[in-house]
Structure formats: structure tokens, C-alpha cells
Amino acid sequence: MSGSKSLKINIFFNTSKKRDSSIQNSIFLLCLPWSLPVPLTPRMNDPHPHILRSDFACYAVKFSPFDPYLIAVSTSQYYGIVGNGRQLICRISPGPGGALQIIRSFDTQDGLYDCAWNEMNQNQIVSGDGGGGIKLWDMNTQDGFPIAMWKEHQTEVSSVDWNLQTKDCFLSASWDNTIKLWTPMSQQSIRTFNAHTYCVYQALWSPRKANVFASASGDHSVRIWDTNAPHPAMVIAPAHEGEVLSLDWNKYNENVIATAGVDRTIKMWDLRNQRAPYLTLPGHSFAVRRIRWSPHRADVIASVSYDMTCCLWSTTAPQSLMSRFEHHSEFAVGLDFNLFVPGQLATGSWDGHCAVWSLQGQPPPKLMKPGNAGPTQPPPQGAPGLGPPGR
């Protein structure tokens, strides 16, 4: 991301138990919403939090779909506004005081905004950068260079996501309003989807339908696509009162998605009747940056926000907000559940920390940004670098 540029933060300010291991593992396999190569030894929940301290701002955190001890962290220098990026692969060290041990590190010229594991190769991960580039990394390489690179997007790549069904392709979404379909075997994108009229912040494959994905955009819409068609099969607009920053598919119901945006809410949609959300969850004080459905419970979803908190929600309980975690001291933007460890969650923040912890264990301590300075107070609407008010 050479040169100075505005960073789209899009803040919405509103004044107003133990069993035989083989049996346990078999039960877990049967419960998986899709087939994955699960390690032979199931990992037990560790009650201690694990912390990574990075010199760069953490943007995305993704647990490995192959190894319950691995997590990828995408980071950006100077909060992703200018400067370099670094793709980290970390190993979770169990026990009290266990840190996240960096086992590979890849430096980039531009900040990194998102990453996704190659669903066909446990050693590879793809990341999207602030210069419009996409890079594929392999942990077995002897150097720090990507094994493949693509650059077709005109501006920042905000999202990458690997297909869970075919496992041979991935999506990228960009601030240039487009979504692109890629395969590692081709030097060019397979297809471009360009129905959005503003930045596309996320594009995610359906966990059950190989050709279907959803996208969230600053044009206030959510769109459902079939890769065999150039235009979206469904449009939800407006999905939020403002930009839509994140979405996720429910892992147990192919017709349910959740969305989140600058209006500080999370909304649940049934795609069979998308005229209105069937549930709206208020509770964050600023924009909701990322949401993730639990892979272990159909009624649990997590969120992180520019209010620096992580929240855990129930979509069926009378009291929707289950827990609120306030360990970060800067914008919380990265979020993921560990597929192999029920109740284990990871968050990433601009304070330079990635925290991994069990919801049944100790919560993370307060994580201060470099110099132990206090938390950044959100700037006023329309402050430089944050985009115009009302977006």
C-alpha cells in the first residue's frame, strides 16, 4: 500500500467433560458440518489464555482446518493505513502462560487485511493485501517469498475465502467494488462479479453448496451469488442502515446467514424469506467489524467491534447477550472459532495482540498497545482517514 491513503473504518457513532479418545473423536467427526481431515488425537480445552504480541496491528485470525494447534494471523503496519504487512503462522503452546509461538513469518510490501487456509494443502495459506494483491504462502518453503501471486484488484483486498466443498478455488473481495474467483493453478482470475456499487468488505462461500457464496458491501446490501451466473441470485437491500461490514453462514442451516454493519447491529436472515431479518441483536456501541457463527452450536454467534469488545450471543435464549470480553485496547477486527476445540475463540486487534482462549476457562487479561498507552478514543465523525460521516 504505497503512499498515504484513507482507511475505511466506517464507525457508526450514535449519540442518542472425559471418554475413550477414539470414541470421542468419532462422535466429533459425525457432528462436523462438513468433512475435514481431523487429527487422530482430539485436543482438550486449555483453560489458560494464549497471547501473541505483534509489532503490527492484527487484522485477521484464522484457525487451521487441519491442525487444532495452528492459527494464522494477518497484520499491518501503522494500522493498515500505510506501511508493510506480515503474515504469521503461530502454534498454540498449552499450559499456564502459554504464548502463541510464531513458526513462520512472511513479510509483504503492503499491509495484510485477511487470510484463508488452503483447504487442499495444510501447509498453505492465502492472504489479501492493501495494494490489491493476493499471495499464496507455503510453510515448507526455505525463503520468505510467496509460491504464487496475483494482482487484478485495483484497490485493497479486504477478504479472501477458500471453497469448503470443491476445495480447489477461493474468493477475493475488494474495495474496488468487485469479487473475483481464483484457482491456484491459473495465473488469472476465473471470473469477476461486479454488481456491487461500493466497497465489498467480505465474500464467503456457503459451507454446504459448492457454487454459492454471499457478499457484504458498503452499498448497504448483501448479495447471494451462484458462480455459474454473472449476476446475484438474491439481493437484500438495504440489509443495514449503513455499510454492511461482515457476514457469516450458519453451519447447520444452509438458509440462514448473519450480517453486521456500521449501525452497530447483527441481523439474522432466512433466505427463504429475506424481506426482513427474523432477529436483530443490538449491544455494540460502535460498528460491528466481524461476526462468526459457532461451528459447534447452531444458536451461538460471536462478534468483534470498533468498541474494542468481543461479544458472544445466543439466537434462542431470552437474554441474547451471553458474554462480553473487554481485553483489547484498540479496535477489535479479527475473529474465529477453533473447529476442533469447542468453545475456543480467537480475536485480533489494532493493539497488536491476538488472544486465544476457552470460553470455559480464564478470559484474556487486559492487552495494552505499545508503550502501555491507554486505549484510543474513537474520533469524531468525518475525522481524517476514517471516511465521510454517514457512510
| Average pLDDT of the residues in 241-259 | 98
Lowest mean pLDDT among 19-23, 50-54, 131-135: 19-23
Residues 6+ apart with CB under 8 A from 259: 216, 222, 236, 239, 240, 244, 246, 247, 266, 267, 269, 291
Task: Collapse the DSSP code of 9 into the 3-class scheme (helix H, G, I; strand E, B; otherwise coil) and give the result.
Answer: coil
* pLDDT on residue 42: 42
User: CA torsion sign, 1 to 76 to 4 to 382?
Assistant: positive
What is 361-376 written as a DSSP string? Answer: SPPPPP-PPGGGPPPP
| Through-space distance between the first and last CA atoms of the chain, rounded to whole angstroms | 23
Q: Is the pLDDT of residue 36 over 50?
A: no
pLDDT of residue 33: 38
Angle CA 230–231–232, to nearest 5: 130
Kindly state the average pLDDT of the residues 61-74.
Answer: 98
Backbone angles phi, psi at 193, to 5 degrees: -115, 120
**Which residue in the block uniquely carries the three cell numbers 486487534?**
349
Average pLDDT in the 70-89 region? 96
For the chain, what percent of residues have pLDDT higher than 70?
Answer: 83
Residue 126 in 3-state DSSP?
A: strand
Cβ–Cβ < 8 Å for 113, 158:
yes
Q: Is the pLDDT of residue 106 over 90?
A: yes
**pLDDT per residue as tens digits for the range 159-216:** 999 999 999 999 999 999 999 999 999 999 999 999 999 999 999 999 999 999 999 9
Can you list the domains of the chain with their CATH numbers?
A: 46-372 (2.130.10.10)
Q: Does the pLDDT of residue 389 top 90, yes or no?
A: no
The pTM for the full model equals 0.86
pLDDT at site 93: 86
